[in-house]
């Protein structure tokens, strides 16, 4: 998979998450405890499939999307004790490529 294709697919995930957040914000205005989780199972499967397609054997995409909140949390990741903040797709791509070289 090319870097450009990877960015397109990751941006689709970001768009889905943004739309889901917007929907849930609107639902909260009507009913504070309401949460819509439609599509989350599909999102999990999409992330797994994308990881396989790009050769992400360390599940960095899953980590970036769910734990690092698409880079918003500025969490660190790396190999061999050399960690750096992963805040954007270019850094995530580099991390995945580094893992393939291991």
Mean pLDDT split into 10-residue runs, the chain, 102 residues? 98 95 77 78 96 97 98 97 97 97 80
Q: Quick one: pLDDT at residue 56?
A: 97
Q: Residue 75, by phi and psi: left (phi above 0), alpha (psi -120 to 50) or beta?
A: beta
Q: Quick one: pLDDT at residue 36?
A: 73
Domain that holds residue 56: 3-100
- Continuous H helices in the chain: 3-30, 40-54, 60-62, 89-100
| Furthest CA-CA distance within the chain | 50
Tally the domains of the chain: 1
**C-alpha span between 3 and 50 (Å, rounded):** 12
Rg of the chain, C-alpha, whole Å: 15
Model pTM score: 0.87
Q: Quick one: pLDDT at residue 24?
A: 66
CB 47 within 8 A of CB 61: yes
């Amino acid at each position: 998979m090319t870097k450009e294709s990877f960015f397109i697919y990751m941006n689709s995930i970001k768009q889905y998450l943004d739309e889901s957040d917007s929907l849930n914000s609107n639902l909260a205005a009507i009913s504070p405890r309401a949460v819509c989780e439609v599509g989350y199972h599909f999102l999990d499967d999409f992330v797994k499939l994308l990881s396989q397609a790009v050769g992400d054997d360390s599940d960095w995409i899953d980590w970036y999307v769910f734990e690092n909140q698409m880079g918003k949390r500025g969490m660190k990741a790396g190999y061999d004790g050399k960690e750096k903040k992963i805040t954007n797709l270019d850094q995530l791509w580099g991390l995945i490529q580094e893992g393939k070289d291991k």
